[in-house]
Structure 1
């Protein structure tokens, strides 16, 4: 996390949303099952 704070500032802001949605969706589906 800290390692991407400086050089990957934009990617960090663009990736978390998509990654979070994927993780949440996967977790929700898995939990539902």
Structure 2
């Protein structure tokens, strides 16, 4: 990871109080933005 870079392709996240709809929107948004 480069200096100052917070996230990489291997970054993992842990979700508390899991709700499927908001969590699903994040990957969809990333996909649409081309991340």
Quickly name the TM-score band, shorter chain normalised.
0.3 to 0.5
| Higher RCO structure, 1 or 2 (CA under 8 Å, sep 6+) | 1
- Of structures 1 and 2, the larger Rg is shown by 1
- The structure carrying a bigger helix percent of its residues is 1
Task: Give the TM-score of the pair, scaled to structure 1.
Answer: 0.43
